[in-house]
Structure 1
Amino acid sequence: MKKSEKLKGKEKVAAHKRQYKMVGIAAAILVIVIAVIAIYFVFVVPPVVVAAGDTVNVTYTLMFDNKTVYQTNVNTSPFTFTVGGGQVLPGFDEAVRGMKVNEEKTVMIPADQGYVYNPDLVAIVPKSLFQENQTIYPGEKAYFQSTSGSVIPVVVLNVTNAGVAVDGNNPLVGQNLTFDIKIDSIQKAAAGSSATTTATS
């Protein structure tokens, strides 16, 4: 082998070494940049989490102990409520606090912390509140409108000459409830007023 060929070979090896070195330096720089960005978002700009006063959109599935699904809004419209506003069960309200957008959680609410039976919601109403000639039977669901305009669902307990006994208690009274929850969006509440900032998926 000629001397010039040996020199060319050494130059090629040296060139490859320089290329590998440059790739290594570029990779190291990239790792450092990613680490700096991650530190910035974790410590300087912490993620938006649910707190009292926020309005949240959630996707949920409600199940019984045997995993039978009672209700879900998956693939439909998200459920919207204000945290701490008394619009949902306390256990559900507490579960979403501290969650981030797209975070999922499963929470079990025991019966004694769920829907409570209220004997005042059992009443006898006149048959005239039902449609004329309607056959009324125990177990039937009916819907009445309150003076405020809201719809009150009830279940018929019994039919007597005095009227129709109905129960307006939630059908989930006495049940252990398991919720699969996902946060779809968080609308942060402004200090001392309504929400102003939205973080969405």
Structure 2
Amino acid sequence: MQIAKNKVVSIHYTLKNDAGTVIDSSEGAEPLVYLHGSQNIIPGLEKALEGKVADDALQVSINPTEAYGEYNKALTQVVPSSMFQGVEKIEVGMEFQAQTEQGVEVIRIAAVDGDDVTIDGNHPLAGERLHFDVSVAEVRDASADELEHGHVHTAGCSH
């Protein structure tokens, strides 16, 4: 069975950046399982997997525009530390949810300089070219419930 829209796909992968550093991997763990065509993975990887079958392997490099987007400096700003009431110590890398015009978004602390805190609304991999080594473990038809909900139902799913 080929990977196509509305198929449930299981893949093993290793993700590296341009420097060759491993960012994420399913090695030694369960495969990543997703519903193809439902925007559950980055567009570039989804396009590269289209038409593949179980046991296929591929290496693919994805540009930022087909991954997490280009880095957008406008999504950073400096705010006073007083905006983080109740947080004992503000540290680089911490993540918070913020209500924006587009809904709830995750922001990261990019820098702390005294009472000035630089926040960043970019995805941590924005602007990065991503390199995947992927092997397709399984392709199956999605259930009616999975199609209705737009994602795969696995053990522990709350539906």
Do both proteins adopt the same fold according to a TM-score greater than 0.5, normalized to the shorter chain? yes
Q: Measure the CA separation in 1 of the matches of 2:96 and 2:65.
A: 28
Deviation at 1:121, TM superposition (A): 4.0
1:136-181 deviation digits (Å, cap 9, x = unpaired): 35xx11122467xx993613334464x6321131222222111011
1:155 aligns with 2:155: no
Q: 2:44 aligns to what SS in structure 1?
A: helix
Task: List alignment gaps of at least 5 residues for structure 2.
Answer: 149-159
More strand by share: 2
Query: Structure 1: any 5+ residue segments left out of the alignment?
Result: 1-47, 196-201
Shift in Å, 1:119: 4.9
Q: Given the alignment, which residue of 31, 36, 39 partners 1:83?
A: 36
Which of 90, 93, 108 lines up with 1:141 in the alignment?
93
- Shift in alpha-carbon separation, 1:53–1:95, aligned structure 2, 3 A: same
Deviation of residue 183 (structure 1)? 1.2
Is residue 2:15 matched to residue 1:58? no
Task: Determine which structure has greater relative contact order: mean sequence separation of CA pairs < 8 Å that are 6+ residues apart, divided by chain length.
Answer: 2
Please state which structure has a larger fraction of its residues in helix. Answer: 1
State the distance in 2 between where 1:51 and 1:184 align: 15
Aligned residue among 13, 24, 33 for 1:71: 24
Question: Do the aligned residues in 2 keep the contact of 1:143 with 1:151 (CA within 8 Å)?
Answer: no
1:107 Cα deviation from its structure 2 partner: 0.7
Instruction: Determine the structure 2 residue equivalent to 1:173.
Output: 126
| C-alpha separation in 1, matches of 2:96 and 2:108 | 8
Counterpart CA distance in 2 for 1:59 and 1:50 is 15
- Quote the Cα distance in structure 1 between the aligned partners of 2:96 and 2:36: 28
Q: Structure 1 length as normaliser, TM-score?
A: 0.58
- The CA deviation string for residues 44-89 of structure 1, in whole angstroms up to 9 with x for no partner, is xxxx111011121111101123322121111112112211111221
State the partner residue of 1:49. 2
Alignment of 1:128 with 2:85, yes or no, is: yes
| Partner of residue 137, structure 2 | 184
SS of residue in 2 equivalent to 1:50: coil
Aligned residues with identical type, % of pairs: 26
- Asked if 2 retains the 8 angstrom alpha-carbon contact of 1:110 and 1:177, the reply is yes
Instruction: Compute the TM-score of the two structures, normalised by the length of structure 2.
Output: 0.71
Tell me the C-alpha RMSD between the 2 structures.
2.9
Structure whose alpha-carbon radius of gyration is higher? 1
Q: 1:166 to 1:106 in 2, by over 3 A?
A: same
Match status 1:108 vs 2:97? no
What is the aligned length? 139
CA contact under 8 A between 2:107 and 2:119: conserved in structure 1?
Answer: no
Q: Would you say the 8 A contact 2:109–2:117 is kept in 1?
A: no
